[in-house]
Amino acid sequence: MTENIKTYNANNITVLEGLEAVRKRPSMYIGSTGERGLHHLVYEVVDNSIDEAMVGECNEIIIIIHKDNQITVKDNGRGIPVDIHPKYKVSALELVMTKLHAGGKFDKKTYQISGGLHGVGVSVVNALSEFLEVTVEKDGLKYVQKYKRGIPQGPVENLGKTNGRGTTVIFKADTEIFSVLEYDSETLLNRLRELAFLNKGLKIIIEDQKNDKKQEFSYEGGILSFVEFLNKNKTAIHIPIYLKKKKDDVELEVAMQYTTAYSESVFSFVNNINTHEGGTHLIGFKTALTRTLNNYGEKEGLIKDVKLSSDDVREGLTAIISLKIPNPQFEGQTKTKLGNSDMKGIVDSLVTNGLSTFLEENPGVSKNIILKAVSAAKAREAAKRARELVRRKGVLESTTLPGKLADCSERDPSKSELYLVEGDSAGGSAKQGRNKEFQAILPLRGKILNVEKSRINKIMSSQEIIKIITAIGTNIGEDFNIDKARYHKIIIMTDADVDGNHITTLLLTFFFRYMSQLVEKGYIYLAQPPLYLIKQGKQKIYAQTEEEKERTLKEVGPGAGIQRYKGLGEMNPEQLWETTMDPKNRTLKQIKIEDAIEADRIFNILMGENVEPRREFIENNAKKVVDLDI
C-alpha cells in the first residue's frame, strides 16, 4: 500500500507557515485550554508515532504520565530527521518542532497515509509547553534538543552512538495556558486502546506513575478484536464478519457482528481518525449493507411482503469501518466528517462485493442476520401509526400539547428552554416559579421506559416518551429532524437521590440512542439543584455539595440552621427559581459526548440485558461514590 522509503531526511520536510499565533489563540489549534485540550496535546504527539506505525516503521509506543504531570511519548520509528534543511538552513528537527505546518505529511513519498495530515501537531504542543525535550535515535547516533514555550534553548546536540532508534518527546503543559494540568488516565486509555485496535499488531504501553498502573494494548485481531471488545457484554447471534478490500490506493477494513440488542453501535474511522459525524464512507457502507441484505434475503425467500430499511438492517449491529486513503478531505463542525465524494461509491462497491461473498458462503449466519432484520422491520411497521401520530401533531399550542406541558411564549428555539421535571409536585413548583417567556415545563410521571431493552414499537407506545418527542418536535429515528427542535436547551431536572439519578440515566439513554444529534449539538443539560439551605439570621446560602456546606458553615459560624432538600418538591416556587432556574444564579451541566465509543459501551453495561457486567461495574466503581442514599 505504501511505497517503501529508504531515506527519510530534511528534503522530505515542507514548511507552510510560522508558529506565532498558537500561544495567542491556543483553542484554535487544540479545541480548548481545559481538560480536553490538555489531553489533545498527548494525542498530537502520539499521532506522529502512529503515522510511523502506519507505514510499517514502528511497532511499539510507550506513554508515561509522570507524577509531576510531565508526559513522555517514546516510539521505535525512524526518528525525526536531524540533518540541515536545504532551504531553511536549520536542523529538520528544529524546523518540525518550531514551525507550524512543517512536517513530512505534505510529501506523499514519506507518508502516503497519515492521520496528522495538517502537520501542526508537535509544533503546537511545543508552543504550549512550559518545556519540551525531544530525543532522536537515528542511523546509530543520538540527538537531543530542548525548548521552553516553543523557543529552542540551544542547537540540536549530538550525544554520540546508540543502538536504539526512534523518537522520545518529554513535555509539560504550560501553566500560563492551561486551566488544568491533571491528566485522566482513563481518558487516555480509551483513545490509546482504540489506536491499538486500529493498528493490528502495534503494541501501546501506558504507564500512570501517579497511580502506579501500567497497561499494555496489542491486538493481533485488529478491528475484529475491536468488535469483540464492544460486544463483550452483549449476546451475539453469529461469528464476527471481517472484510478487507483494496482498490488502488484505498484500503478498507470492515468488522461487523449482530447482537440481540436493539440499538446500533457503528463507528467509522479514516486514517485512524474517528469520523464522529460520518461522511461519504459511512453512507457507502450503509447503502451497500441495505441493498446486499435485501437482495440476498429476497433471493433465498427469507424476505416476503416487506422491504428492509437502512434502520432495520442496522438494529443490533456492531461494526467498525476503517478506511485508509491518501488525501482525506474533512468537513463538518469538528472536522471529523469525510467529504471525499468518490469514497461513497468505492466503499459501496467493496462492501457489496465482500459481504455478498460472505453471505453466499455462510448460509446459516446469513439466515440469522436476515431474520433479525425482518423482525426489526415488523416492529417498525407496528410502530408506524404511533410515529405518524407524532408527525401529524407537529408544533401544537400549549393547551393541547400532551403531558401537562406548560409551553413558553417565545417561538425562537435558540432562546427557548424545556425543563423535564420529575413528578407533578416539582412540576407544579417549576411552573409557578419559571419565566413563562422562555421556559417551558414538562412534568414526567415516574420512570420512563428503558430504551436499551426495548424495540421501537414498544418505545412508540410509551406515553411518557411520546410526550417528550412531541414536546421537542424533532421526531426520532429515520424521521428525526434537528431543525424542528422547539428548544435549544432541554434541561433534565430531577431529585438529588437514587431515583432521581435513575430517571436522569433513563432519559440520557433515550437521548443518546434515539436523539443523539441533540446531545452532539449541546442541547441537553442537567439542572444542579442545591442539597442544602443554610440560614444565619436573615442570610440565606445554598450549597450544592457536602464540601460547599462544610465550607459555608465554617464561614458563617455555628448555630446556623441547615435544611437538607431531599426533593425538588420541597422547594417553593421562589426557591426553585432562585437556585435552579434563574439564568443569573443557576448552574447547568451540559452533556457532551467526548468519546462516543466509550459512551456506547457504558450505556450498554448500565442499561442492557446482561446483569453480570453491571454488577462488575458497580463493584469496580463503588469506592468512587460521593453521595450514597441508604
What is the sign of the dihedral through the CA atoms of 175, 179, 184 and 188? Answer: negative
DSSP 103: B
**Which residue in 495, 520, 578, 600 is the catalytic one?**
495
Of 113, 129, 12, 120, whose CA–CA distance to 57 is shortest?
113
Give residue for cell 475491536.
Answer: 226
> Helix/strand/coil (H, E, C) string of 290-317?
HHHHHHHHHHCCCCCCCCCCHHHHHCCE
The answer to whether 249 is a known catalytic residue is: no
Residues 475 and 456 sit within 8 Å (Cβ to Cβ): no
Three-class secondary structure of residue 508 per DSSP: helix
Q: Which of 52, 422, 520, 578 is catalytic?
A: 422
Distance CA 327, CA 340 (A): 9
Which of 497, 570, 595, 598 is an active site residue?
497
Best CA proximity match to 313, nearest among 373, 261, 356? 373
Which residues have CB under 8 Å from 1's CB, separation 6+?
112, 113, 246, 249, 251, 324
Dihedral sign for Cα 327, 331, 333, 337, please.
negative
Q: Which of 107, 499, 570, 598 is catalytic?
A: 499
Cα–Cα distance measured from residue 519 to residue 509, given in angstroms and rounded to the nearest whole number: 11
Compute CA distances 426 → 215, 312, 534, 541, 610, whole Å: 47, 39, 21, 21, 34
47 is catalytic: no
| HSE, side-chain direction, 13 A CA sphere, residue 305 | 3
Inter-residue contact 174 to 129 (CB < 8 Å): yes
DSSP tag of 451? G
CA distance 463 to 299: 40
Contact 467, 405 (CB under 8 A): yes
Catalytic, 422? Answer yes
Burial of residue 439 (CB within 10 Å: 0-12, 13-18, 19+) is: buried
Distance between CA atoms of residues 389 and 121, nearest Å: 51
322 contacts: CB under 8 Å, gap ≥ 6: 198, 223, 252, 253, 254, 268, 269, 272
Strand partners, 543: 532
- The b/e string for 59-92 (b: 16+ C-beta within 10 A; e otherwise) is ebbbbbbeeebbbbbbbbbbbbbbebbeeeebbb
Grouping H, G, I as helix, E, B as strand and the rest as coil, residue 398 is coil
Rounded to whole angstroms, the Cα distance separating 619 from 613 reads 10
3-state secondary structure (DSSP) of residue 343: helix
First-residue to last-residue Cα distance in the chain: 60
Q: List active site positions.
A: 422, 495, 497, 499
